[in-house]
Amino acid sequence: MKRQIKLVASILVALPLVFLTSCGGDEQIEEAIEDVVEDVVEGNETYYQIPSPDEMFGFIKESGLEFNGELLNPVQNVDNYTDPKMQALNFGIYSADLAYTAAFEEFNETTKYFGTIQKLAEPIGINGAFDKALIERAQNNLGNADSLVAITNTSYFAVVDYLEQNEQGDKLGIIAAAGWLETIYVVANSTNYTKDKAAVERLADQKLTLDNLLDYLDKYKSNEDVNEILGWFTELEAVFAALPEDEGSGSGISFKKKEDGKMVLGGGSSITISEEQFNAIRDKVNEIRNNIVKTEA
């Protein structure tokens, strides 16, 4: 089952404003996306909506949230991750941190994090995803904000493509799960529930993405590491489950999963979230994330 995540995530990245704003009435954009989604889901395979990290970070920057370097996993920690599972998880964490620094034009930090994911790529067997051209392109564009964002996105999809082509869906699931978690961690810990309404709503919307992520991980639960991680995220899903969802009342655009498991484009859902629920999600995310990045035995 190849290229499924890449195809769907590419739609999200190619048209970020559709997913990052609540603007309605743009029928041409919606029809164009529906055409692409119809092409993607025509086969017999199941497709999952797992967006790349820069989708969320582009949103929080546009929402006025400030960059907070203290939320990053320090690059100095990389040498402490020697277990293959922890290396894959932190590859996902560092990939999200890379996208975060690029989105906010923190060029010095972006350079460090690009080097860090390159370093981790070798022990987890995905260094083949970073070809010479990509590395040179990154080195030659360290002062160009637009190019850096594009390069970090390219590197993300290079890894996705490499793992798909080599039929390592279990490893891809681990990396994607950690990358998604890190984006939620950054957003939840950068957001003021009272003041940042758009960011709070965006966090609540991740209930749908988490469902898709769990479906993907479940396919590889025979892998001991994936099964353990699936348990962590199932606990998080239980917290998200408390959020009431009103189908079709939202103005945004989202993917919906049909009974046969295929993803189709549908109307937006309105998911409400109280301050208590927001804090509960943040606390559970922090707990899982801290277990991933910790360096002590």
pLDDT computed for residue 102 by the predictor:
83
**Consecutive H or E run containing 220:** none
Least confident of 138-152, 175-189, 232-246: 138-152
pLDDT computed for residue 159 by the predictor:
78
Query: CA separation (Å) from 296 to 49, 71, 76, 95, 179?
Result: 34, 18, 13, 22, 21
Please give the mean pLDDT across all residues of the chain: 75
- More reliable by pLDDT, 32 or 175: 175
pLDDT computed for residue 282 by the predictor:
97
**What is the token pair recorded at 9?**
């995530």
pLDDT computed for residue 208 by the predictor:
86
Instruction: Tell me the helices (H) and strands (E) count for the chain, helix number first.
Output: 12, 2
**Consecutive H or E run containing 28:** helix 27-41
Question: What confidence tens digit (pLDDT) does each residue in 105-164 have?
Answer: 888 898 888 889 889 988 998 877 766 666 666 666 666 656 666 666 677 777 777 788
Q: Quick check: helix, strand or coil at residue 231?
A: helix
Least confident of 49-58, 184-193, 219-228: 49-58
**What is the token pair recorded at 255?**
């993917």
* pTM passes above 0.85: no
Residues 209-214, mean pLDDT to the nearest whole number: 89
